[in-house]
Amino acid sequence: MSHSGKTKHGLKHRSFLKWAGGKYRLTDNINNLFPKRRKCLVEPFVGAGSVFLNSQFERYILADINADLINLFNTVKTDVDAYIEALKPVFFHAEANSAGYYYARRDDFNNSTDPFFRSVLFLYLNRFGFNGLCRYNSLNEFNVPFGAYKSHYFPEKELRYFAEKAKSAVFICADFNETFKLADDESVIYCDPPYAPLLQDSNFTKYAGNDFSVTHQQALAELAKQTVNERNIPVLISNHDTAFTREIYHGAKFKRIKVQRTISQAAERRVKVNELIAVFK
């Protein structure tokens, strides 16, 4: 059984979110590495959900430590029609693509505690903010600047597909330690953590406002080894291909992939880097 989630025309499904580090381009590589006859995909770092959207499992356990992201997914799953109708006045406002409107909505988001309202503004900020970044300051306030794009796409088709596929998924706000515990003997776990830096003196990626440190990277690697050895549950982890990651993933099989970074708006600043997928089984 193949776990590929392509359409009958061989097309892939895009997330309704822009997302730095999203796995849309790599879903074929990842699907090809999933073991056969596993019925449940567990993702402790679901992000924009590209792997979920482009795979075929009977059920999904999808987690992230970002409460706003999980709230958004659960809102879309619960009532996509109501969500889309609430989103339209924000997206199609005459001033939607202006800095003034964007920063006013960002303030509204940071000052609100209403889950539905926050879910609407979270997607607006994601689509109109800079390069699909999701970033918070020390006060846990969303602080991504305005993106200043010439045009914007309203992802209604993607929202509706997500809501349909989400019928087989559970979305939870949890860290990777908690999420691993939810896997059973029918599961495979795919991890897409904040990446280790390409250079040793680089800063580690921010993980929902917290540093995902060397210690976190090592702890995830050890948990993967423990899970396959003690529970016979296979684990896949994506990361940069560096001496550090190859050391901490020692014992896994490696699939090396060359990818193009798209976090910069300037095309000439996008460079190809090596990533790896470590397969523990």
pLDDT tens string 13-55: 999 999 987 788 899 999 999 999 999 999 999 999 999 999 9
Select from 103, 127, 155 the last residue of a domain. 155
Task: State whether 241 and 268 are in the same domain.
Answer: yes
**How much is the average pLDDT of 73-94?**
98
Q: pLDDT band for 260, please (50, 70, 90 cuts).
A: confident
Q: What is the pLDDT of residue 8?
A: 47
Query: Average per-residue pLDDT in the chain?
Result: 91
**39: annotated binding-site residue?**
no
Q: Are residues 221 and 275 in the same domain?
A: yes
* Full residue range of the structural domain in which residue 104 is found: 79-155
Report residue 184 as tokens.
């059973």
> Does one domain contain both 276 and 183?
yes
Provide, rounded to the nearest whole percent, the portion of the chain with pLDDT above 70.
88
What angle do helix axes 156-165 and 80-91 make, rounded to 10 degrees? 160
Give the mean pLDDT of 243-262.
90
Give residue 207's pLDDT: 46
Residue 59 shares a structural domain with residue 187: yes
Q: Is residue 211 part of a domain?
A: yes
Query: Is there a single domain that holds both residue 180 and residue 276?
Result: yes
Do both 104 and 232 map to the same domain?
Answer: no
**Rounded Cα–Cα distance for residues 54 and 30 (Å):** 10
- Regarding whether 261 and 134 lie in a shared domain, the answer is no
The reported pLDDT for the residue numbered 20 is 82
Last residue within a domain, chosen from 155, 188, 223: 155
Query: pLDDT value at position 201?
Result: 45
Mean pLDDT of 163-174: 98
Q: Is 114 annotated as a binding residue?
A: no
Q: How far is 254 from 158, CA to CA, in rounded Å?
A: 32
8 is in an annotated binding site: no
Domain boundary among 155, 188, 204: 155
Residue 74 domain flag: no
What is the arithmetic mean of pLDDT over 185-195?
97
Q: What pLDDT was estimated at residue 197?
A: 86
pLDDT over 80 (residue 171): yes
Instruction: Judge if 273 and 183 occupy the same domain.
Output: yes
Element (H, E) at 120: helix 115-128
Note whether residue 145 is domain-resident. Answer: yes
68 is in an annotated binding site: no
Q: Are residues 57 and 180 in the same domain?
A: yes
Total count of residues recorded for the chain:
281
Among residues of the chain, what percentage have pLDDT more than 90? 80
142 and 188 both lie in a single domain: no
For residues 148 and 126, membership in a common domain is answered with yes
Do 60 and 178 lie in one domain? The reply is: yes
Which tokens is 142 given?
């969303």
In the structure, what pLDDT confidence band is assigned to residue 235 with cuts at 50, 70 and 90?
Answer: very high
For residue 262, give the CATH number of its domain.
3.40.50.150
* Residue 88 banded pLDDT, cuts 50, 70, 90: very high
| Lowest mean pLDDT segment, chosen from 3-12, 176-185, 190-199 | 3-12
Q: How many domains does the chain have?
A: 2
